[in-house]
Amino acid sequence: MSQIEDNVKAILAELPPGVELVAAAKARTPNEIQEAIKAGVKIIGENYIQEAINAYQIIGRQVKWHFIGHLQRNKVKKAIDIFDLIETLDSLPLAKEIDKRCGQKGKVMPVLIEINSGREPQKFGVLPEDVEDFVRQLASFSHLRVWGVMTMGPAFGDPEDARPYFQETARIFNHLKSLSLPHVEMKYLSMGMSNSYQVAIEEGANLVRLGTVIFGPRPG
Ligand SMILES: *Cc1c(COP(=O)(O)O)cnc(C)c1O
C-alpha cells in the first residue's frame, strides 16, 4: 500500500463518527488524489479552479468536490460546474454572482460562510461580528443555500493557540443554527487543518480539511 493510502486509512480510523474528511488537494497530482480516493476519501477540496478542472476531468463524480480557496467572481461560472459545495463565501458581490450563474443553469449551490475568526487583515472571510447580518442578506438569493461556516484561523505552531478561534467560530455556528433563518440549514462546521484538526474536532468541527497529513509536505 502507498504512503498516501496508509495515511488516509489511519486518519479515517481516528476520526470520530460524524466527522467528515476533506482531502485538501492543492499542488497534488490526479494520481495522488486517486490514491487517497482508493483508501476511502469521499470529498476533495480544491483551492484553484484550473487545478480542479484538471483533476475533475480525470476523476469525475466518484467523489464530492468542495471549493476551499478564494473564489474570484470571474471564476464562478466554471466553479459551479464542478463544485458540490463552496466553503468560502465571503462577500455579497460573490454571493450575487453565484446566485446569478446558478439561476442561469437551474442549480442551487450550497455554501459555507468563511469567517475570519482571527480578524487578520491579510485574510479573507467575514468578521465574526458581521456574520449574522451577512447571512440575513443572503435570504434573497434563491439559488444559494447556507450549509454552515468555515474558518482557517491564524496559523500557530502550537494548535492549542488556535482553540479560542475555533471556539468563537463554533459559537457563531450554534447561534446561526438557533435563528432558523430561511435558506439556512446549519450542517457543517468546517475547521481544522493538518496540525490543528484534533483541537478543532474537540471544539465541534464536523468537516476537517487535511492536506499534509494525507499527501506529505507540499512540493515547491
Ligand atoms: C491547504 C489548505 C488546507 C490543508 O492544509 P494542511 O496544513 O496541508 O493540512 C486546509 N484548508 C485550506 C483552506 C487550505 O488552503
Is the Cβ atom of 200 under 6 angstroms away from ligand 1?
Answer: no
How much distance in Å is there from the Cα of 81 to the middle of ligand 1?
23
Is 137's C-beta closer than 6 angstroms to any atom of ligand 1? Answer: no
Select from 113, 116, 193 the residue to mutate for testing ligand 1; criterion: most ligand atoms less than 8 Å from CB.
193
Domain ranges (residues) in the chain: 3-214
Q: What's at 64, amino acid-wise? A: K
Which tens digits make up the pLDDT trace of 75-96? 999 999 999 999 999 999 999 9
Top CATH class, 3-214: alpha beta
**146-181 per-position pLDDT tens digit:** 999 999 999 999 999 999 999 999 999 999 999 999
Q: Which ligand 1 atom sits nearest the alpha carbon of residue 212?
A: 8
Q: How far apart are CA 195 and CA 214, in angstroms?
A: 12
Atom nearest to 150 CA in ligand 1: 13
Tell me which H or E stretch contains 49: helix 49-59
Average pLDDT over the chain reads 97
Residue 220 pLDDT > 90: no
Angle at 112 between CA 59 and CA 106, to 5 degrees: 65
Residue labelled with grid coordinates 484553484? 48
The pLDDT > 70 percentage for the chain reads 100
Q: What pLDDT shows up at residue 1?
A: 77
Predicted model pTM: 0.98
The pLDDT tens digits of the residues spanning 187-199 come to: 999 999 999 999 9
Q: What pLDDT band is residue 219 in, cutting at 50, 70 and 90?
A: confident
Mean pLDDT, rounded, for 112-123? 97
Average pLDDT over residues 61-67: 98
Ligand 1 atom nearest residue 87's Cα? 13
